[in-house]
Structure 1
Amino acid sequence: MTKVYLIRHGETEWNLNRRYQGHSDIALSEQGRYQAQQLLRRLAHENIDVLYASDLGRAVETAQIIASAHQKEVQLDQRFRECHFGQWEGLTFPEIEKAYPQEIETWRKRPGQLLVPGGESFALLQVRAYEALLDVVAKHKGENIAIVAHGGTIRTLLCAILDLDLDRAWQLKQDNTALNIISFYDDQTVIECINDTTHLLVGAFPQCENKVE
């Protein structure tokens, strides 16, 4: 069995302002770093053999914080990047609604059907991200793998694993530093949890306090 801890990065200022990031390289906010530290405590007792991340800074920093408790290097793979939002990057949701009313309606109701203007579709994102996931699982068979990626990326991966249409992607919520645990067996794949953010509750995992500097 190969276990994957699939993690969304911590919060950024653009997340807070509902501004589309995509491939824009936006750093974690102080709140995002706090979230990553809390997830570090959640995972401190787990035996993580290898860590991967998207090459965008918000994912890299989240992964590096987690890696600090496991003495592991973070390996980067740009295939785990967020969806490329093209002309939407840097815009807030209301700004996109005003400038692209027809496209945003499709995005709301049928996200799997939209090619973002100047960017990519969830279908294209899913192809590259799922290929990367399967490559990593095959390379590290029998190990525990942490992968830090992005909300859209993780939604498309969960759709691939569950054999769901991409139009159902918004039904799979992914909060900042959400933890998803997936076990890969020879004959099946089992999702153990989705969008776990219990590490952000006050007083969560006090038993890990003495294991984290």
Structure 2
Amino acid sequence: MVRIILVRHGQTEWNVTGRYQGQEDTPLSAYGREQGEKLARSLKDIPFDVCLSSPLQRAFITAKLCADLHNLSVEKDERLTEIHHGDWGGRLTEEIESLYADEFKAWHKAPHTVKMPGAGGESLEDVRKRVRPAFDDYAARFAGKTVLVAAHDAVNKVIVCDLLGMGIDKFWQIKQDNTCINVLEEQDGKWRLVLLNSTLHMGYLFSTTDQKGL
């Protein structure tokens, strides 16, 4: 069996303002780093053997804060990079809604049908096609181990949907707060969800905040 502790990165200023990040390499805010430190302390006594992260700094620094308390290095995996937002990247939610009204509406009603407009833009299926093989690799490489994986909102939602056999049309039915903890286990080719979107290390059971941008 392999156990995956899947976390989302700490907060960035773009998360707060509702600016779409995607593959823009935005840093953690001061509060985001504080969130990462709280996450690390909450996992200090939870043994894990390997630490993997998206190469984007907001995820990598979140992972490193956790890994440092276990004297582990962090391995970057490009497949964990957040969805590429194409022309939406760097734009505020309100601006996207105004300029791309039909696509924006579809993104919130039927996200599996949308490919982000512009150069490099991805669909959720594009994300699934690169992230699922990564998790299959982890199951093969790290049998018998516990692995910390630090990634992103869309990545986490897509992989949870896929591993549980849910269509990615269920994307918006899963919430991923900053530095949330998810636990997934694989045995004999079957995945199960043990924990989803836990934020108890932040001092609350659930957040009432829904971020506008990813």
Among 150, 159, 162, which residue is 2:161 paired with? Answer: 159
Counterpart Cα distance in 1 of 2:28 and 2:189: 38
- Where does residue 191 of structure 2 map in the other structure? 189
CA distance in 2, matches of 1:136, 1:21: 26
Is residue 63 from structure 1 mapped to residue 63 from structure 2 by the alignment? yes
> What do you get for the CA RMSD once the two structures are aligned?
0.9
Match of 1:208 in 2: none
Distance in 2 (CA, whole Å) between partners of 1:76 and 1:137 is: 17
Q: What is the aligned partner in structure 2 of residue 32 from structure 1?
A: 32
Give matches, 1:7-156, under 5 Å: 7-118=7-118, 119-156=121-158
Q: Distance in 1 between matches of 2:190 and 2:23?
A: 32
* Contact kept in structure 1, 2:26 and 2:57, CA below 8 Å: yes
Normalising by structure 2, we get a TM-score of 0.93
Cα distance, 1:187–1:85 mapped onto 2, change above 3 Å: closer
Unmatched segments (≥5 aa) in structure 2 = 205-214
Letter in 2 for 1:193: L
Structure 1 unaligned spans of 5+: 203-213
TM-score (norm 1): 0.93
2:34 & 2:90 partners in 1: Cα distance? Answer: 24
Q: Which residue of 1 aligns with 2:209?
A: none
* Aligned mates of 1:187, 1:103 — CA distance in 2: 36
Structure 1 distance, partners of 2:179, 2:135, is: 18
Residues of 1 paired with 2:61 and 2:50: CA distance? 16
Residue in 1 that maps onto 2:211: none
The alignment partner of 1:183 has SS state of: strand
Say how many residue pairs are matched: 202
Post-superposition offset of 1:187: 4.7
Moved >3 Å (runs of 4+): none
